[in-house]
Amino acid sequence: SDAWYETVLPPTPGLVDQPTVVRARQRGGVDDGTIEWEAGGVPADTGNDADPAAPTESVDGESILTHLLRLDDDLAAIYDATDDGALLSRAYDRYRGLRLVRDPAFPCLISFICSAQMRVSRIFGMQRSLRESYGTPVDLGDRTLYAYPTPEALAARTEDELRDLSLGYRAPYVQRTAEMVASGEAHPRDARGLPYEDAREELTQFVGVGDKVADCVLLFSLGYLQAIPLDTWIKTAIGDYFPDCEGGNYAETSRSIRERLGAGLPERDEPFGESGPDAYAGYAQTYVFHHLRTDGD
């Protein structure tokens, strides 16, 4: 697509030390296309009431995009190892080039807390309202972007203020989780480095986070590519295509579908002390999710 994707990346350990504006778009096809990008650092977070700051500092945009868009994942190896299952084959064929992402941990956590029982458009609307109400503005000349609110900014809000942004019953979950992170009581990054199921359990300490939301954060932020969030679409796939994977509870069903969707995929040396044939199962899940949600078959 010729459309630009743009975001304000918060300070991220090992990647950027300051808020950073990133803009990117793909030109051409999956196999022969290129990515155009622009990136620049901005002054430290000063809050929603500050005058918009413009990007001023040079940053390594290529490394940032490689990290965010997981451009270092070997999709060809994953495709080549796919088994003969009709559902996975259709999903891979139709959406070749689809990648997972490495979202910043705190925004990812809050976004998925807000996602409960919500359509995608409503979730996007909530996140936009949070950014524009409590995030630091960044001046891009012809328009203003907003960084995602810091834990401190959200922790300082009242439940009523967050409800006014249409968060509904999720408002106290967001406020309390932000308070936990801002105070140093816990951080979603603390889960990184734990064995997979222990990491999932670690994340459920946050208010409003159950096993599914925890799996979403593990998969889309913390690099646990074997995680399979058991949402409505994946439960439908299990019932229609893999009924023998229904284990009666979340943990057992999760183990069974990870093994099934990971069958045939290349083993991966996990950075968290785990490896095995299910180590890329989250990639297979993502293709199945997008295929069923988009095409319905």
CB 224 within 8 A of CB 278: no
Which residues have C-beta within 8 Å of that of residue 190, sequence separation ≥ 6? 202
Q: Which two tokens stand for residue 278?
A: 């299910």
Q: Which residues are catalytic?
A: 212
Q: 10 Å Cβ neighbour count for 26?
A: 16
CB 35 within 8 A of CB 24: yes
Q: Among 211, 220, 292, 226, which residue's Cα sits nearest to residue 258?
A: 226
Angle, alpha carbons 174-205-152 (nearest 5°): 40
DSSP 266: P
Q: 10 Å Cβ neighbour count for 227?
A: 24
Backbone angles phi, psi at 149, to 5 degrees: -60, 145
Q: What is the dihedral of CA 124, 54, 15, 101, to 10 degrees?
A: 20
Q: Among 282, 294, 258, which residue's Cα sits nearest to residue 101?
A: 282
Helices (H) and strands (E) in the chain, counts: 13, 5
3-state helix, strand, coil in the chain (%, to 5): 45, 10, 45
Distance CA 259, CA 254 (A): 9
